[in-house]
């Protein structure tokens, strides 16, 4: 553990998680994220600073609105804890220095898109496109010698999935992969470089297959038209490959 990093990062993480929760709820609905005030879903009471302290307010208020006692639910504290978990995981698996903070930013972005895709089968451009730009910027700062590989990763991720989606649509007459998946893979490619994209796609496909098989084992009928949040699996795979390296280490120069 990197103690000099860990203390400020853990203190910051719940606030980041609170913002991620807002993104997860509001972005798919097209609601304003920056200027719209948070309010109780039951009575409409606008929440003040004392109501919005990550984790602390939820525990203090016992998960209920202080005005109407309506249940707040566990979604926001769960996301705040998940943001802390990203920090701890990154601190265990990532070298110290700028790469450690970059890992947290990357993990927080992946957490957001993974949950949105799981809930809505949606990967918004407002989240996937910045991932590409930030990934390329991080590569330019921390991995100058291989920055071109990260640019190729962004281009290759987008083009490969776009081509696959086009071929599937021509073959089956319906969409298979969405454009959001291609943009997410471009974002992941910008972070991990083109050499690790095969590992990301392979691991994501394994995760999707495991979920489908587990559903079949539980008695749920699986058909070719069933939808899976493949972006969620890509996000998980992109995080694991970033932390632990590729499954296919001989890909690339």
Instruction: Per residue of the chain (253 residues), give pLDDT as tens.
Output: 567 788 889 999 999 999 999 999 999 999 888 878 787 776 777 877 777 788 888 888 877 877 787 787 889 999 999 999 999 999 999 877 788 899 999 999 999 999 999 999 999 999 999 999 999 999 999 888 889 999 999 999 999 999 988 886 777 666 767 789 999 999 999 999 999 999 999 999 999 999 888 877 877 766 656 678 999 999 999 999 999 999 877 655 5
Q: Is there a contact between 180 and 122 (Cβ–Cβ < 8 Å)?
A: yes
Token pair of 218 as six digits: 């539980």
pLDDT of residue 143: 80
**Alpha-carbon dihedral 217, 200, 25, 62, rounded to 10 degrees:** 70
Q: Is there a contact between 143 and 99 (Cβ–Cβ < 8 Å)?
A: no
Q: How many CB atoms lie within 10 A of CB 119?
A: 13
Domain positions in the chain are: 1-93, 98-253
pLDDT of residue 237: 97
Cα separations (Å) of 206 from 14, 47, 57, 234?
31, 43, 39, 10
Q: Is there a contact between 100 and 5 (Cβ–Cβ < 8 Å)?
A: yes
CA angle 240, 241, 245 (to 5 degrees): 125
Provide the whole-model pTM. 0.90
């Amino acid at each position: 553990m990197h103690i000099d990093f860990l203390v400020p990062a853990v203190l910051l993480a719940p606030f980041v998680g609170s913002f991620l929760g807002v993104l997860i709820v509001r972005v798919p609905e097209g609601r304003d994220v920056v200027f719209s005030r948070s309010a109780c879903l039951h009575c409409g009471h606008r929440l003040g600073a004392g109501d919005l302290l990550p984790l602390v307010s939820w525990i203090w208020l016992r998960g209920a609105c202080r005005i109407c006692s309506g249940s707040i639910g566990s979604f926001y504290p769960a996301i705040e804890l998940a943001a802390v978990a990203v920090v701890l995981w990154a601190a265990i698996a990532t070298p110290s220095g700028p790469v450690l903070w970059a890992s947290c930013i990357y993990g927080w972005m992946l957490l957001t898109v993974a949950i949105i895709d799981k809930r809505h089968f949606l990967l918004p451009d407002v989240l996937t496109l910045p991932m590409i730009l930030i990934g390329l910027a991080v590569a330019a700062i921390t991995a100058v010698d291989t920055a071109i590989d990260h640019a190729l990763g962004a281009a290759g991720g987008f083009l490969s999935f776009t081509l696959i989606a086009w071929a599937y649509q021509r073959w089956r007459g319906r969409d298979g992969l969405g454009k959001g998946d291609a943009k997410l893979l471009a974002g992941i490619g910008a972070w991990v470089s083109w050499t690790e994209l095969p590992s990301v796609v392979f691991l994501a496909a394994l995760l999707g297959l495991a979920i489908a098989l587990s559903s079949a084992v539980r008695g749920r009928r699986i058909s070719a038209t069933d939808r899976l949040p493949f972006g969620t699996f890509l996000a998980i795979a992109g995080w694991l490959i970033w932390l632990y390296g590729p499954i296919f280490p001989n890909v690339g120069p």
